[in-house]
Amino acid sequence: MIRCAAEDQPMSATIRIDVDLFSDTVTRPTPAMRRFMCDAEVGDEQKGEDPTVNHLQEMVAELLGKEAAVFLPSGTMCNEIAMRVHCRHGDEMLAHRTAHPIHFETGGPAALAGVNVRPLDGARGQFDAAAVHEGVRFPGRHSPRSRLLWVEQTSNLGGGSVWPLERVARVVEAGRGHGLAAHLDGARLMNAVVASGVSARAFAEPFDSAWIDFTKGLGAPVGAALAGSRDFLAEGLAGLPGIKLDPAEVDTNLVFFDVTGSIDAPTAVERLLAQGVRMGAMGPRTIRAVTHLDVDSPGIDRAL
């Protein structure tokens, strides 16, 4: 069962959070970003007359090696719009069974795009070319039309795992053979870039559409801090009693681990919160800790 229990719990106003590992969305703009916002040249973005938005769009297009980009309010909206653009109602999209649109977009694929999602299996949030071949429908009047292949880089519920470039190429090629379009959910693409040394452009190259998230990306791509914190947290946690985690399975800033003792994950998360450390319960036994710009080494020590 995949459930984001802690997300639904109201935050108590009396608890002070010193170390916030709940999500990388909690990052706040740095003073430099705030200054830049104040000084930014603006205009009517609807008419394409906002030079700063235009510049941002050009930068993202360049970064991902695509012709153009559009600035949108959220990553969820990027995903849902991509589905609408690639698919007709009743079409089917192939995605790993842990994919964000299946679990965290409030039924958006069905509600907004009329898209059926076919979940694919595979370790750590990743499927392979064989799963694509198997997942594509045999064309016939009773079947939905397989239309879109979906890759999440890094995979959130796959534990922040980085899809190797060759695997990305192989699954997209498999999809192409069946006439599928390909979409890259790059909410944490820059984490994959930092972890693998492969450029965002190379990762995005096989895809028709790809996006990056500023709410996560603003903190995460600062790079060195993330990779360092991830390793440190991951290896420190594995040494603690009552914690089950394989550091080899931590690629980037998402650290998933299981509690094996008498208390369950929601209780453990509650007790951590009382100590000023916030993490998220992702199931009865599973906890997710997310490092980002605003968590430093002493913070990780505290959390451990």
Residue ranges in contact with ligand PLP by CB under 6 A? 74-76, 79, 100, 152, 156, 185, 187, 213, 215
Q: Which residue is nearest to ligand PLP (CB)?
A: 75
By C-beta, is 187 or 293 nearer to ligand PLP?
187
By C-beta, is 239 or 252 nearer to ligand PLP?
252
Q: Which among 25, 5, 153 is positioned nearest to 79, based on CA atoms?
A: 153
By C-beta, is 215 or 275 nearer to ligand PLP?
215
By C-beta, is 146 or 156 nearer to ligand PLP?
156
Burial of 164 (0-12, 13-18, 19+ CB in 10 A): middle
Smallest distance from the beta carbon of 140 to ligand PLP, in angstroms? Answer: 32
Smallest distance from the beta carbon of 84 to ligand PLP, in angstroms? Answer: 16
Smallest distance from the beta carbon of 162 to ligand PLP, in angstroms? Answer: 13
Smallest distance from the beta carbon of 152 to ligand PLP, in angstroms? Answer: 5
By C-beta, is 50 or 152 nearer to ligand PLP?
152
Smallest distance from the beta carbon of 262 to ligand PLP, in angstroms? Answer: 31
Smallest distance from the beta carbon of 14 to ligand PLP, in angstroms? Answer: 27
Smallest distance from the beta carbon of 250 to ligand PLP, in angstroms? Answer: 16
Q: Phi and psi at residue 114, in whole multiples of 5°?
A: 65, 30
For residue 87 the two structure tokens come to 């698919």
By C-beta, is 44 or 97 nearer to ligand PLP?
97
By C-beta, is 74 or 143 nearer to ligand PLP?
74
